Structure 1
Amino acid sequence: MAIPVETFFLTPDAQGTLQAQIQQMVAEGILSGRFQRGERLPSTRALARHLGVSRITVTLSYTELQANDYLTSRGRSGYYVSDSAPEPPAFSTPQKRHETVDWSRAIGQRFSGGVTPRRPSDWARYRYPFIYGQTDPTLFDHANWRLCAIQALGVPNFRALTTDYYDQDDPELIEFIARHTLPRRGIIANPDEILVTMGAQNALWLTTQVLLNPRRTAVIETPCYPALRDILTLSRCRLAPVPVDGQGLPPDAIPQGADVIFTTPSHHCPTSVTMPLDRRRALLARARDLDALIVEDDYEFETAYLAPASPALKSLDTDGRVIYAGSFSKSLFPGLRLGYLVGSAEFIQEARALRASVLRHPPGHMQRTAAYFLRLGHYDALIKRTAKALHTRRLVIEAELAHHGLTVAGQSTHGGSSVWVKLAAGLDTAQLAETLRLRDVLIEPGQPFFVGADAPTNFCRLGYSSIQADLIPEGISRLAAALT
């Protein structure tokens, strides 16, 4: 690999001759680890022209560095970092200038500090990862996704790959969502009522920015999706947490003055309980009485392997007050970051304009690849294969939890990919998670899912999308052993 000539520059206040300065630049690059052994330096002619010095000055510098074994010359090929050049110290770090900016004053608005749970980046190396929302490589259709990606790179799709859509989306993906995905949920929408997003979280952020301000009140479930809580907190709107029960969000508990109601009726996050049809109708009636909007996060509706999925709230809405958020990231793979919003054209117009000002549109190649994968039937085949595996794993995890006397506090009546477990009162599942991590088991502590300072500490979520069925018994056994 060649070291770019732009890496080198002379500073006006540098001490010593030009030859000494060039030697120092190269030596410091090697000692700091920026220049690796075997990398080729710029030619003497190129570096001299770049620095505005004579070629002989550079040649003498390189010759001296070669004599000190920093560099080696390879015939007519040029100068390279020597294989026996001094090793950079293990603790060596690039020297930074002393900063004088007071960032506590300079930062006008803070976005860090949320308590969204974070899983280890190396979660896949653990033998018993009860981690929610990750892709099982044994189930994913690698071959057909690769073929669809190659097809999307072809000449016929050149415009889809390279076009700046500005505020628009891939028409083929929009058509599939409108004609195939949404009708399965009982939703009919025109193209101007659909917006592709960078996953469901981006959809929720766009919705929050368009609908809420510090004078408006948002109703949020507790426990809830932690990222949504953080998004709402940053919007500075008034927050009204409403505890869920065994059927999800109770409409009667929604307070007066609510402007926007956020809910996850198909699979409540994190308990996975499913809101029954009569409560869905009651929720719509309550929103109508309050003249409030509803944001329906319909994640994981595809994992209804025990019974057909309940109709989406959006499909029951006759007033246009429900905004629907869906995602392909959960059902395909989380790194895809592809979701969509469905709502009245007036709302989508504003969300589209906001998205354009931030990121314009999700990458065209990813949209077209997903459109091919969906249209060619690979997506449906993947959903069926995944549902079958999740059903088997659910039966195993239910049996093992019951065998060890552990309480399942919530799970979907239609399917899902996780269970919500309640442990003994006073137990801190954050400490338990650390203990289990040392025993090759990963769980998700429940406290970050609650709103408020008095959140209970004795809940945890156990996902089973990323763990094989035959490993579940030993994983649950180790969890139970850690409780004794």
Structure 2
Amino acid sequence: MALPVETFFLQPDSEGTLQTQIRQLVAEGILAGRFRPGEKLPSSRKLAQHLGVSRITVTLAFTELLADDYIVAHGRSGYFVSENAPEPPQFPAKASETSTVDWTRAIGQRFITPDVMTKPADWSKYRYPFIYGQADPALFDAANWRLCALEALGRRDFDALTADYFDNDDPKLVDFIARQTLPRRGILAKPDEILLTLGAQNALWLTAQVLLTQRRTAAIEDPCYPALRGILEQSRCHLHPITVDQDGLPPDALPDGTDVLFTTPSHQCPTAATMPMARRTALLEKAERDDFLIVEDDYEFEMSFLKPPSPALKSLDKNGRVIYVGSFSKSIFPGLRLGYLVGPAPFIREARALRASVLRHPPGHIQRTVTYFLSRGHYDALVRRMGRAFHERRNAMDKALADHGLTVAGSGSFGGSSQWMRAPEHIDTIELARRLREKSVLIEPGHSFFGQSDPPRNFYRLAYSSIPTARIADGIEILARTLREMT
């Protein structure tokens, strides 16, 4: 039996190339049971005319389906659904109609935290996206990333692509981090002192699980990265927030009995303060004197376009008290989810074993692609391009904020990608963000960065990593006008 050509149609909102859409159209029909083994498909000429595409597009789609044994070619007779094609399920999927489980009792631990930061998935459609941590397609080197990914798919790298490393990592990437990435921060480390992670957040979670118990005390900055606070609360340790000032975390404010300190000295999150050398030295001396460990999240050090970056705490550490967290996700693109931990070998061994029990290792293809992107020099070129663009955008933002008299609560003196802002006391920035969103302006309310039960509501963050320079002034003008309306 021949399938009528009218059975085939392309959805207007389908994604991918026409060739991909046609392949998916046929494969889905087979998987759904609408196209059955032995049935004849329309000829490539008829299907091309019906769909309004070129015949070669249909032919290429059929060739892919042939290779995967979804269809077969019978001489001059045409294409048929293969007898070996995947069969549809013999019974329909069916959801449970009712549930007798009391999930309020069944759930033993709770991990949902209030006030979780969210970013709209369609943020790029807004005209003025002062939103943090998103990749700018105008800056990203998509062409060279694609070439590196294709190279990593080659036969030469078949083992790196397909092997189960168990608890190990791609030796080429670890070697590059040890020889090239870390020395730029003044850090020397051996391979057994480096562990790859699924981004900085995964590194922080592994660290907290290894170092903290219910009887230990952790100190964190306030305000700080909200996900870190959630990680530490889940560990059930004693938690002490330390209020930061214009120079970051003050060492003298650390309480007695601290076991582990989590800090962001290069660019404090979210205030962008940079800890000066004198304070770094004092912090390390206090850690040695009071016998506690320091977890250094060195995020955004690459974006020091106003001044050279300060030395990492880890590079000043002579006693092995600093555990270093780095990430490629912010500087390459957030969805990459690839970071690394650097610390003494005994700590890394435990973190490696924990990682293996949860997720084994980051995907081999991602590791090898990043290796090529780094070693070919594309990463350094990307960071330089981002630095130049961010410097230009920062100047435009500084001028616009000054022109409209808006208050900057924290501004990275070394660079970064955002400004920490303070609105008048009576302004709730959650409401401000809602009103601005209706005007195609996105900002981040700041309440979730604070640890108090009743945090201040008048702080917000403005990022310039994803907005073109030419739109910054107009976006700030809308922000200033909306603040006046609320006043």
Q: Is the TM-score greater than 0.5?
A: yes
Q: 2:264 — aligned with what?
A: 264
Q: 2:204 — aligned with what?
A: 204
Q: Distance in 1 between matches of 2:31 and 2:367?
A: 41
CA deviation string 1:294-341 (max 9, x = no partner): 000001110011111000000000110000000000000000000000
| Cα separation, partners in 2 of 1:77 and 1:423, compared to 1, 3 Å | same
User: Are positions 1:299 and 2:299 aligned together?
Assistant: yes
Q: 2:187 — aligned with what?
A: 187
- What are the equivalent positions in structure 2 for 1:11-410 lying under 5 Å apart? 40-41=33-34, 43=36, 96-410=96-410
Q: Distance in 1 between matches of 2:209 and 2:461?
A: 29
Q: Distance in 2 between matches of 1:348 and 1:39?
A: 48
Q: 1:415 — aligned with what?
A: 415
Letter paired with 2:452? G
Give, in angstroms, the shift of residue 396 of structure 1: 0.4
Extract unaligned runs of 5+ from structure 1. 1-34, 47-75, 79-92
* Corresponding residue SS for 1:391: helix
CA deviation string 1:147-205 (max 9, x = no partner): 00000001110110011000000011001100011000000000000000000000000
Letter paired with 1:180? Q
Q: 1:483 — aligned with what?
A: 483
Q: Distance in 2 between matches of 1:244 and 1:391?
A: 25
* Corresponding residue SS for 1:262: strand
Letter paired with 2:457? T
Letter paired with 2:285? A
Q: Distance in 2 between matches of 1:210 and 1:290?
A: 20
| Cα separation, partners in 2 of 1:37 and 1:174, compared to 1, 3 Å | closer
| Cα separation, partners in 2 of 1:365 and 1:282, compared to 1, 3 Å | same
Give, in angstroms, the shift of residue 447 of structure 1: 0.3
Letter paired with 1:297? D
* Corresponding residue SS for 1:195: strand
Q: Distance in 2 between matches of 1:187 and 1:257?
A: 28
Asked whether the 8 Å contact 2:218–2:262 carries over to 1, the reply is: yes
Give, in angstroms, the shift of residue 273 of structure 1: 0.9
Letter paired with 2:227? A
Q: Distance in 2 between matches of 1:129 and 1:428?
A: 19
CA deviation string 1:430-476 (max 9, x = no partner): 11000000000000000000011121111100010000000000100
* Corresponding residue SS for 1:271: coil
Give, in angstroms, the shift of residue 114 of structure 1: 3.7
Q: 1:460 — aligned with what?
A: 460
Q: Distance in 2 between matches of 1:207 and 1:201?
A: 10
Q: Distance in 2 between matches of 1:275 and 1:411?
A: 13
* Corresponding residue SS for 1:483: helix
Q: Distance in 2 between matches of 1:44 and 1:373?
A: 45
Asked whether the 8 Å contact 1:116–1:230 carries over to 2, the reply is: no
Q: Distance in 2 between matches of 1:279 and 1:405?
A: 32
Give, in angstroms, the shift of residue 274 of structure 1: 0.6
Q: Distance in 1 between matches of 2:437 and 2:423?
A: 18
Q: Distance in 2 between matches of 1:395 and 1:244?
A: 25
Asked whether the 8 Å contact 1:219–1:261 carries over to 2, the reply is: yes
Q: Distance in 2 between matches of 1:322 and 1:129?
A: 36
| Cα separation, partners in 2 of 1:40 and 1:331, compared to 1, 3 Å | same
Asked whether the 8 Å contact 1:114–1:230 carries over to 2, the reply is: no
What TM-score do the two structures reach when normalised by structure 1?
0.82
What TM-score do the two structures reach when normalised by structure 2?
0.81
Q: 1:49 — aligned with what?
A: none
* Corresponding residue SS for 2:314: helix
Q: Distance in 2 between matches of 1:259 and 1:206?
A: 16
Q: Distance in 2 between matches of 1:37 and 1:471?
A: 49
| Cα separation, partners in 2 of 1:115 and 1:36, compared to 1, 3 Å | farther
Q: Distance in 2 between matches of 1:43 and 1:248?
A: 66
Q: Distance in 2 between matches of 1:426 and 1:317?
A: 44
| Cα separation, partners in 2 of 1:455 and 1:184, compared to 1, 3 Å | same
Q: 2:441 — aligned with what?
A: 441
Asked whether the 8 Å contact 2:224–2:450 carries over to 1, the reply is: yes
Q: 2:429 — aligned with what?
A: 429
Give, in angstroms, the shift of residue 44 of structure 1: 9.1
| Cα separation, partners in 2 of 1:166 and 1:479, compared to 1, 3 Å | same
User: Are positions 1:472 and 2:465 aligned together?
Assistant: no
Q: Distance in 1 between matches of 2:342 and 2:482?
A: 45
Q: Distance in 1 between matches of 2:252 and 2:320?
A: 21
Judge which range, 110-119 or 307-316, deviates more. Answer: 110-119
How high is the sequence identity, in percent, across the aligned residues? 62
| Cα separation, partners in 2 of 1:36 and 1:279, compared to 1, 3 Å | same
Q: Distance in 2 between matches of 1:127 and 1:214?
A: 47
Q: Distance in 1 between matches of 2:108 and 2:427?
A: 39
Q: 2:51 — aligned with what?
A: none
Q: Distance in 2 between matches of 1:121 and 1:214?
A: 37
Asked whether the 8 Å contact 2:186–2:315 carries over to 1, the reply is: yes
Give, in angstroms, the shift of residue 36 of structure 1: 8.0
Give, in angstroms, the shift of residue 96 of structure 1: 3.6
Asked whether the 8 Å contact 2:30–2:36 carries over to 1, the reply is: no
Asked whether the 8 Å contact 1:167–1:360 carries over to 2, the reply is: yes
The CA RMSD over aligned residues, in Å, is 2.0
Could you list the runs of 4 or more consecutive aligned residues of structure 1 that deviate by over 6 angstroms after TM superposition? 35-38
Q: 2:69 — aligned with what?
A: none
Extract unaligned runs of 5+ from structure 2. 1-27, 40-78, 82-92
Q: 1:51 — aligned with what?
A: none
Q: Distance in 2 between matches of 1:426 and 1:208?
A: 37
* Corresponding residue SS for 1:213: coil
Give, in angstroms, the shift of residue 38 of structure 1: 12
